[in-house]
Structure 1
């Protein structure tokens, strides 16, 4: 039996912005879905310790005031998220993350920010990124947000930009992609993870080249990362004496 018969562990964050190096977690969800089991959903609301910009609130609906009043300390939240993911990975289940380099980098930096053990030192997940998978199998043009993918693969997405809804939809989209393109379902998880590293690099290189040759967007080429499923943490350098 292939990985498509296993439960999937979906992970999603809503954050204070779009820079995974510096922005903070505001809400999180870990969803266990599929494999003939009832769907299990775990969600968190965090106090990020900083202001939630109005632009971010407009996307996910969580204000600074609400996060401070109802959210738990961010360090507790990211520790529990990492523990939940580690448990699922230990069970042999794939980790589904839409646009993995953003969410997994956010998790890594938050754990390091609070002096907690990074995910890479807890487990070695096999990641499935529906964005990378869809780009590999479909040449259609246009946007590939989770909303776009859900529409294309006929997956319900109620309450987009809620961490829980997005995590559930990412798992459902991944299932639909693999069920339609069976070579993905037939590829063992370790190999499929490795394949996505190369697919993602090629896809991002194409984006980098697009920016480089597009008037007015040349400066964006330098911001495109080729790393997947996470941007490596910067190497700390000690002061010389």
Structure 2
């Protein structure tokens, strides 16, 4: 039986910013689907991060500082609860599914340390459990996919949903529950395609040759897929770093750019790393 037919744990967070080492969690969702069992659809956890929520972030997920102060659980209580749920999921052998899961797991790791708790690796028993990151897999399957528009990237969740035939509703997007479940559906679809005979698979790279053999790398045990994603994430980071350092980056060019290839959790930048990057 392929991993896509087993139990899958959909995970996502909404936060205060884009830097996973500085952002605070505002909402988190971890539900379970598939595996021949009823869905485990626990309501998202609303969190009071203890800081002001920037207007730019509030415009995306809709949660204001005033709202979370009135209705959210204090971060020092909420963060361990989220970590407990993630660790229990891995203990039961269930993969965490997320789109750019490295961001969400890194935010959780940073929040744990910020609140005086052990890092996520300790909650996980010394090693991270299986993770299926639809962002990393999408970039592996279609490295040269073009942006949909100036506002919609080539590998954002909305684009991936369209590529893999998953319905999308803009009105519901950017909530932790919605985004997590869409990512789980995209992962299921990726796995379904991978377990088809090669000649029955759809072509994902529109107009750029036959890419169907790439799905072979997904039709493997979870442990192998987990290891492959580590490799792909590192390769993708190296490629992006090289691009940023080159004239091809245009206005974004940065000769000293450093992009971490760590996955599924990015360690906090150390003073030595910062000095090397400067």
What is the TM-score normalised by the length of structure 2? 0.80
* Contact 1:8 1:34 (C-alpha < 8 Å) held by counterparts: yes
Contact map agreement 1:178 1:184 (CA 8 A) in 2: no
TM superposition shift of 1:141: 2.4
Mapping 1:1-241, distance limit 5 Å: 1-42=1-42, 43-123=44-124, 124-139=128-143, 140-142=145-147, 143-158=154-169, 159-182=172-195, 183-213=216-246, 214-219=249-254, 222-234=257-269
SS in 2 for 1:40: coil
Q: 1:211 to 1:45 in 2, by over 3 A?
A: same
1:80 positional shift: 1.2
Instruction: Give how far 1:224 is off.
Output: 2.4
- The offset of 1:226, in angstroms, is 1.4
Residue-by-residue CA offset, 1:64-109 (whole Å, 9 max, x unaligned): 1001111010122111111111111111111112112211110001
Which one is further off, 65-74 or 76-85?
76-85
Contact kept, 8 Å, 1:3 with 1:185, in 2: the verdict is no
> Where does structure 1 lack aligned partners over 5 or more consecutive residues?
none
Which has the higher Rg, Structure 1 or Structure 2?
2
What is the DSSP-based 3-state SS (H/G/I as helix, E as strand, rest coil) of the residue aligned with 1:76?
helix
Q: Shift in Å at residue 181 of structure 1?
A: 2.3
Query: Secondary structure, in 3 states, of the residue corresponding to 1:33?
Result: strand
Counterparts in 2 of 1:111 and 1:36: CA distance versus 1, 3 Å: same
Distance in 2 between residues matched to 1:190 and 1:157, nearest whole Å: 30
The Cα offsets for residues 166-204 of structure 1, whole Å up to 9 and x where unpaired, read as: 110111101111211233453111111111111111112
Give the superposition deviation at 1:10. 1.3
Q: Residues 237 and 260 of structure 2 are in contact (CA less than 8 Å); yes or no, is this contact kept in structure 1?
A: yes
2:254 is paired with a residue of what secondary structure? helix
Residues of 2 paired with 1:201 and 1:137: CA distance?
15
| Structure 2 residues without counterparts, runs of 5 or longer | 148-153, 196-215, 273-278
| Residues 1:226 and 1:120: Cα distance change in structure 2 (over 3 Å) | same
* Compared CA separation, residues 61 and 118, structure 1 to 2 (3 A): same
Aligned residues: 237
Change (3 A) 1:178 1:221: farther
Report the 3-state secondary structure (helix = DSSP H, G, I; strand = E; otherwise coil) of the residue aligned with 1:167: helix
Contact 1:8 1:94 in 2 (8 A): yes
Superposed structure 1 runs of 4+ greater than 6 Å apart: none
Contact 2:79–2:112 (8 Å) recurs in 1: yes
